[in-house]
Structure 1
């Protein structure tokens, strides 16, 4: 039913453009349990409208989305509209205990936001505990009517959602890990549009992309995985990247997409190979000792006219530790930076921050080894409050948080060196305060404590420009001289290289409380997160809007 409604809305938009400009799109998401069979076993999972992945959300740039979420499961629920800037509408952003209290069982909440100045591919997902393992879907933002793509219009749009599948209940997995203090189990397989493909000792269903020779297809690739950065390839075919995180890029061609959790990549596929069947494959990237699900999920690209029992053309996936492949892809990304879509990179910086991110160990009397794994930014392992931060800020409720989050590590050290001490972190609910319209540079510095690894970091409420990256410790004197301030990639989620750093810049022109966290769910759970508090501006349209009347209560 949801798909038919969406189709009708889009047809109406094309036929009656005067009526559709700045339209209001109404959706209803029912969060329900549904039995799903994968890897030759059936289990109940939390879904939206009974589907996995969940239904795509379609709208146009400048449309308003009014979406009612009804919670029919036993868990508390929130939905985050990942990458939507939420200008002045932070109440609809979705992270539990940051911008809202969760929607309790039997309750509902209406998310209301406008898609201002954005077009492309994003995603939505649950933002509480590990429910996003199965509660996720695509957001497709079409250009305003009459505005063409900055590339030839393809024959067809295709949504490809990458994910993970656990044979166990993910809520049990993370709860057991938190009680034991040990790292949680990894997933049992990856998925392409909900299916793992052939699996050892199990004939599992796979995803098939049907194409016609000579035609072009826009692939909206979304990484909704919980804990894995991924490689994506189609045997025998190149892909031309034209957009990431709902921001247009200078087109470039590659045979391998590198995509972190929470990231999206839109690429043009030309069906230019002989008629036949070709492997679509995803595999994990991890260039350190951390365990990941190393199963290569697969699907098929099938040309019209392919014989029923045709052999499949195969492809070799990059090694799991293929750092050069990730570097080549990342360094190829550039903002389109055209007259219509300029790259408004802040050239001056009001707040220059260094965030050392990593994993540590804290004492735990009830844990298996007398300690537990934790994660932190600048030695602060973030503790979510029991009253939402935005609510506490808006109503000036004291005692919920402090605005003294450290802008630099309290004690500088050799971040990427072999450190064997100071694994313990402090716990706190601290935010970093920003004046409206101030400019911010954050250097996300990876560390070598315990287990160095690549961290995909997501900032809510904003896009940012990735102005620099490197290996080792950031050098504040030398490295800024190499920054790209002309056409850096514009993103909402960026991977910080293992044993290295990434520098991002943004302008704090959206008032509210905005979460920044690692999008590896295990690290978010362990505390690798913080929040920016952006004060209201002086003009009437520079203040956060009042909270909705149905805002959930804690």
Structure 2
């Protein structure tokens, strides 16, 4: 047993033995460096964490305190964000440029957050610029405490499966393309845990996972890519869906699952077939030319290679929409619920505000920009959260440049910091309308929400008749199909400055995001934590005195 493991075990024992003991701590030291990688056979600059691509997995339990000391050895500022971790009362740790100053080259910063009232499968990723295209991502799982049962038997093992599209160009090249007003185009391939499944000669790589016949295993599948929806399936095996984006689901069985950018799913798979090797498959969706990656699951003792006949993936977005309609929240599960303050009774809560958000592509100054409701976001030198906390917003940004309804289609697009306010603890309906021919994917930091409806065309008040007001799965990322709408509902009960963004990363990079400021009128640590002692300062707040702390 390593010294680090001994420390964690001792901390856990102390936490169990003391009635009023603090929740256990998990400590990590991460060195972020460049390194040469070649996942598609082409050497390129990658971002490694402790020399690893993808980065190390975080295996935690509900209520654990996570402390990660990140040393930035890159030649650029760097930030990590935690996809789907709600950071209750603590947007100081969110790791987006609107909430945090980036870690300068040669410096370090310690993230400290608690995985409170959550269970499930998540991931972390680098949020600055196009760093996500170079790696720096990894799995983050939150297990249920022993006293809180989960709605399935413990699996024989628990596997993280990070799938995503991949580009053979360096992240700096992709950024220059976007800055010049061009698109990054289609991906060059698909990866599963950083590999295509084939070596440079076209032979299968070593098995990714080994299983024993008759046993059941959990696979946590996350789409960590830049833009492409992917379909995931396992040769000859059925998958029982048990969790998505941190919520337990009704346990339907599927041959394959569409996983859109930024989403995570957990499935149980029983090794009940003839002992041999089998392929897991990830393939692109909604592209003219399908790209596919494989990885091998080996039954223990097998010497038989997998069949070369891969299971076919689905065709068309209507199939994907119909699959989404089958997803239901497991209302009888006793594990931690996202947004535990009672909003899971969302169908009986009165809507206080409806916000309709329209994503658009436009040309500004001869270059492509992407916008939401006529505003294309740009990050100021001073992070929005710090400007708000130090009360200098008038020098950095203006609130509510976007309205609750999209402007006229011929209205000029504004390029500016895009910050919308939401009244604390109000229940709000948000409509995403996607007039484009490609799938959109939206993520909201700091919250889980209820995707209650989807449909083709434009949303209207009559669309509410189609809503699922009973058991929509609480989650943090949702797709919007081409020329369609998606409706979500949530209570804004988590004070802070939170990023609402397109997970299609070139669109995010070119402005398709906004921040939602949720301020508690009480200015109390009951509602939001004080600014951390180690917070990095930059821009206009570098030398300002601290405001009085929350009481």
Same-fold call, TM cutoff 0.5: yes
Partners in 2 of 1:187 and 1:238 — Cα distance? Answer: 28
Aligned equivalent of 1:144: 145
Aligned equivalent of 1:382: 377
- Give secondary structure in 2 for the equivalent of 1:251: coil
Alignment check: 8 A CA contact 1:76 1:104 kept: yes
Partners in 1 of 2:524 and 2:10 — Cα distance? Answer: 37
Q: Normalization by structure 1: what TM-score?
A: 0.89
Aligned equivalent of 1:430: 418
Gaps of 5+ in 2: 338-343, 539-551
Aligned equivalent of 1:486: 470
> Once the two structures are superposed, what CA deviation does each residue of 1:477-504 show, in whole Å capped at 9, x if it has no partner?
x111221111111110000111101111
Gaps of 5+ in 1: 365-371, 414-421
Judged with a 3 Å threshold, the aligned counterparts in structure 2 of structure 1 residues 45 and 200 are, in CA distance, closer, same or farther, namely closer
> Once the two structures are superposed, what CA deviation does each residue of 1:166-186 show, in whole Å capped at 9, x if it has no partner?
32212212223312x111143
The one of 434, 441, 444 aligned to 1:446 = 434
> More deviation in 198-207 or 141-150?
198-207
Partners in 1 of 2:521 and 2:249 — Cα distance? Answer: 31
Aligned equivalent of 2:325: 331
Deviation of residue 10 (structure 1)?
Answer: 6.2
Partners in 1 of 2:150 and 2:334 — Cα distance? Answer: 11
Aligned equivalent of 1:402: 398
Partners in 1 of 2:9 and 2:163 — Cα distance? Answer: 25
Aligned pairs for 1:112-511 (under 5 A) are 112-133=112-133, 134-179=135-180, 181-198=181-198, 202-203=202-203, 205=205, 208-286=208-286, 294-307=290-303, 309-312=304-307, 314-319=309-314, 321-338=315-332, 340=334, 343-345=344-346, 347-364=349-366, 372-397=367-392, 398-412=394-408, 422=410, 425-448=413-436, 452-476=437-461, 478-511=462-495
Alignment check: 8 A CA contact 2:150 2:333 kept: no
Aligned equivalent of 1:550: 534
RMSD: 2.4
Judged with a 3 Å threshold, the aligned counterparts in structure 2 of structure 1 residues 21 and 43 are, in CA distance, closer, same or farther, namely same
The one of 497, 508, 515 aligned to 1:513 = 497
Aligned equivalent of 2:74: 73
Alignment check: 8 A CA contact 1:362 1:423 kept: no
Alignment check: 8 A CA contact 2:41 2:200 kept: no
Deviation of residue 140 (structure 1)?
Answer: 1.0
> Once the two structures are superposed, what CA deviation does each residue of 1:144-168 show, in whole Å capped at 9, x if it has no partner?
1322211121111111111333322
Aligned equivalent of 1:44: 45
Judged with a 3 Å threshold, the aligned counterparts in structure 2 of structure 1 residues 294 and 103 are, in CA distance, closer, same or farther, namely farther
Deviation of residue 200 (structure 1)?
Answer: 8.2
Partners in 2 of 1:5 and 1:317 — Cα distance? Answer: 44
Deviation of residue 313 (structure 1)?
Answer: 5.5
Partners in 2 of 1:21 and 1:261 — Cα distance? Answer: 36
